Amino acid sequence: MKVWLNGKMFDKTDACLSVFDHGTLYGDGIFEGIRIYNGRIFQCQNHIDRLFESARKIRLPIEQTKQEIVDAMYETIEANDISDGYIRLVVTRGAGTLGLNPFKCSRPGTFIIADSIVLYPPEMYDNGMAVIIAKTVRVSPDMLDPSIKCLNYLNNICAKIEAIDAGVAEAIMLNAEGNVAECTGDNIFIVTGGQVITPDTDSGILVGVTRGVVMRLAREMGLTVVERAVTPDELRSADECFLTGTAAEVIAVTKIDDAIVGDGKVGEITTKLLSAFREFTTSDQAEG
């Protein structure tokens, strides 16, 4: 595997960061996870714009222009001969001191990994998945702006550990008000009375790129899409529930804790949205 690091291509064993990098020491950095479909970067502009907006919010300079990063991603895809896969694009604060001061770091670092990814097994897309509601509460927007896709994922990891301990693949995280926020790595939707409902930005979510595409597709199908606070009881009583994410795409949830969602099978609307999403990934609009 080849990794792009600060303008050069390295074998993965030689692509190294300093132990003094603030991304390693303090999680001081940002990233994007991006899909590759048929050699094209999915929703490329949206991901790049979100990366630069995250950088702006934490005053992290990026040495490359947006176009230079796009070019570097395609260079990495070609170097690894990948047609369908996943990109991890990361910008760290760079090497600095053992203190927190980010402005003592010498220069930021950018690296790009392109590889294959399978988050959930194929049978889960056919049969749905079981999840739990985690006891770990999502970090409040008053503490950290959830629109910043930062390297510090410990809050999500603690909830993920709960899911693993429970023998399921994913955990739903509630916010401080007790309402649904998102999963450890995915956004969440329910279908109730024909309406597609998802937590709003006030619920403390990262606004996912795939989430936005699915909402658009749902509206094009004539469905009503609502963004608002969602309670755990609404989850359990929903007709359908599904998750969206870069790696997950669109996947049904058929069990939450001990509650069966709907009839326990992948719902009709979820099935249609997954089909529409997969068709969209092959269209001329996919790159965004």
User: pTM of the predicted model, to two decimals?
Assistant: 0.95
Distance (Å, rounded) from C-alpha 116 to C-alpha 207? 24
pLDDT at 112: 98
- Give the whole-number percent of the chain exceeding pLDDT 90: 97
Q: Does 285 have pLDDT greater than 90?
A: no
Which amino acid makes up residue 17? L
Q: Give the per-residue pLDDT at 122.
A: 92
Among 215, 175, 211, 171, which residue's Cα sits nearest to residue 195? Answer: 215
pLDDT of residue 287: 80
* Predicted confidence (pLDDT) per residue in 149-166, tens digit: 999 999 999 999 999 999
Q: Residues 197, 232, 254, 248: what is their CA dihedral angle, to the nearest 10 degrees?
A: 60
Active-site position among 104, 149, 255, 272? 149
Active site residue 149: yes
Number of Cβ atoms within 10 Å of the Cβ of 233:
9
Asked if the model's pLDDT at residue 141 lies above 80, the reply is yes
Report helix, strand or coil for 182: strand
Task: Please give the mean pLDDT across all residues of the chain.
Answer: 96
Whether the predicted pLDDT of 259 surpasses 80: yes
Q: Which CATH class is domain 2-115?
A: alpha beta
**Domain ranges within the chain, ordered by starting residue:** 2-115, 122-280
The CATH classification number of 122-280 equals 3.20.10.10
Distances (CA, A) of 60 to 24, 33, 145, 214: 15, 18, 15, 30
| pLDDT tens-digit readout, 182-226 | 999 999 999 999 999 999 999 999 999 999 999 999 999 999 999
Q: How many CB atoms lie within 10 A of CB 10?
A: 15
